[in-house]
């Protein structure tokens, strides 16, 4: 239910747009190409099982975990307009 100047279905379009942006960002971050034998960050050996499980892997588990922590700080979602945030 849109109100004011917004057209009907505007909320759904905004949610779909946010979701599509998140999916595109995640796809862009997927590794591609040949897997490296050594981590490009620290130089440690990347286990064969990891290289086979994730084609194009470039980081060891420890470095990938650290990168994931840094990236999770940026959510990319605009929560200012949500009703839940307005109720708090």
Structure confidence at residue 8 (pLDDT):
75
Cα 69 versus chain centre, distance:
11
Nearest to 81 by CA among 25, 6, 8: 6
Structure confidence at residue 40 (pLDDT):
94
Write down the domain spans for the chain.
29-71
Q: Which residues touch 78 (CB under 8 Å, ≥6 apart)? A: 18
Structure confidence at residue 12 (pLDDT):
86
Give the 3-state secondary structure of residue 3: coil
Where the chain has pLDDT below 70, the residues are 1-6, 74-88
Write the DSSP symbol of residue 38. B
């Amino acid at each position: 239910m849109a109100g004011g100047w917004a057209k009907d279905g505007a909320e759904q379009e905004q949610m779909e747009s946010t979701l599509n942006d998140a999916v595109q960002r995640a796809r862009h971050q997927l590794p591609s190409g040949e897997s490296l034998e050594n981590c490009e960050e620290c130089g440690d050996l990347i286990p064969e099982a990891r290289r086979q499980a994730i084609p194009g892997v470039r980081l060891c588990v420890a470095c990938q975990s650290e990168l994931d922590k840094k990236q999770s700080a940026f959510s990319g979602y605009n929560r200012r307009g949500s009703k839940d945030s307005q109720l708090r």
